[in-house]
Amino acid sequence: MVDPVALTQALVRCASVTPAEGGALSLLADLLAGAGFAVHRPVFSDAGTPDVESLYARIGTGTPALVFAGHTDVVPPGDAALWTHPPFAGDISNGVLYGRGACDMKAGVAASVAAVLRYLDRHGPPPTGSIAFLITGDEEGPAVNGTVKLLDWAKARGEVFTACVLGEPTNPRDFGEMMKIGRRGSLTGHIDVCGTQGHVGYPHLANNPIDAMVRLLAALKAAPLDAGTAFFDASNLEVTTVDVGNAATNVIPVTARATFNIRFNDRWTPETLAAEIAERLAGAGAGAPYDLRFDPTNSVSFLTKPGAFVDLVRAAITAETGRTPVLSTSGGTSDARFIQNHCEVVEFGVVGQSMHKIDECVAVADIAALTRVYERIITAFFTARHGA
């Protein structure tokens, strides 16, 4: 049987910094092909973005189809000299496996592969269903040529999915305490104010854009966007930068620029949120011309409502850990926002305290426990549908 810890080490040793494949997908492709999976390695492209290679593997052709999704790309390690263990060595010390991507999310990928192969060794392929993997190399990057296009590619081939488990790190502190059933959306906006440059001693001959910017930003923050919804916290708007580019102390600048980001719940879409922001700014009485623009976004809020599949995953976690995980929609975005357009999706993985940090790591015991949770999910999923 495949050792999920050794597989995590092997994946960590692949320097797959977005968009580099780094050998990680090749490793998985060989492993899955050897187990009887039909494996595909499509490459997707788009103008202004790097080409990205993904992996799709499936055993069986029918439904129900259980999918495990994830990514093998990682963020850069930064200064390797600051790491206690080399970022791509996969070292284990005192029961902890270190390396870039160890928790986000190569441990999740390794555990899902190991769990599926163990299930197949014990039970064989599902009699009328199938198991699939959707693995991308673009989750930490623009997220343009990864999961979203892989799903469209699979749909065009006639692939149908019933439910999906995404192995992102979901637990804040202790393994088994949290699973994700939704995610907030993300929208970034920019405000440019155009003033009139002048001498600070003659303000009547100028129009300070900073004054207008202060009024505009105050209008954005004056009232909450909402009070939250049944499964989501309140949406939050945070100003992330304000710039005037002025090195002189005696000159009123000509322009002021600000950027803000909103993490929004299921009350909003990017379109309705943009309209709300425009309305708030219009009523601010800026006193100077300004321009509002938004970055394109494919990050929308979504929710997998509690039901049979959520209950199945939750029960598997509880059976293995003794904990009843909180059903959460917290945190940043994930590729689940794309998957939810094709099937039900929940997220459960290891503890995520160290993701993107120096000395990123994962407890070896948690990798083993996650593998057992995933095997419980597979068994319960097909038992519920086949009665065997």
State the catalytic residues. Answer: 73, 139
* 8-state DSSP, 235: P
Kindly report the CA angle at 180 between 317 and 43, in degrees rounded to 5? Answer: 105
Whether residue 219 contacts residue 283, with contact meaning beta carbons closer than 8 Å, is answered with yes
Asked if 206 and 197 touch (Cβ cutoff 8 Å), the reply is yes
Contact 324, 314 (CB under 8 A): yes
For residues 143 and 120, give the distance between their C-alpha atoms in angstroms, rounded to a whole number: 32
> What DSSP string describes 53-86?
E-EEEEE-SSSSEEEEEEE--B-----GGG-SS-
Structural contact between residues 230 and 266, judged by C-beta atoms closer than 8 angstroms? no
CA dihedral (368, 369, 375, 377) positive or negative: negative
The whole-angstrom separation of Cα 157 and Cα 42 is 12
Torsions phi, psi for 283 (to 5 deg): -90, 10
